[in-house]
Structure 1
Amino acid sequence: MTGIGQLAAQPLRAKRHGERSPTSIVFLVALWGALAFAVLCLMVLLVDSFLDGATRLDADLFTRYTSQVFPEKAGARAAIIGSAFVIAVTAILAIPLGIAAGVYLEEFADARRGYNKLIEVNISNLAAVPAIIYGMLTAGFALAIGLERRVVLAGGIALALLILPVVIIATREAIRSVPQEIRHGSLALGATPLQTVWRQTLPGAVPGIATGSILALSRALGEAAPLLLLGGLVFVNYDPDGLMSGFTTLPIQIFNWASQPQQAFQEVASAAIILMLVLLLIMNALAIVIRNRYQNRW
Structure 2
Amino acid sequence: MFFGSRKGSEHNSGQDKVISMDRFRDGSSLSPIRQAEAYWTALRQGEDVPKRSQIDPRGLENILSQTFILERIAPGIARFRLAGQKLNEMAGMEVRGMPLTAFFTPTARKQVSAALEHMFDAPAVVELSLQTEATRNRPSQEARMLLMPLRSDLGDVSRALGVFVSEGNSMKTSQRFNVTATELRPVTPLLKPKMSPASKSPNEVNAGFAETQAKFSDEPSVMDEARALVEASRQSMDEARKSLSEIGKPTEKTKPSRSSHLRLVVSRD
Q: What is the TM-score with the length of structure 2 in the denominator?
A: 0.22
Name the structure where strand makes up a greater proportion of residues. 2
Name the structure where helix makes up a greater proportion of residues. 1
Q: Which structure: larger Rg?
A: 2
Q: What is the TM-score with the length of structure 1 in the denominator?
A: 0.20
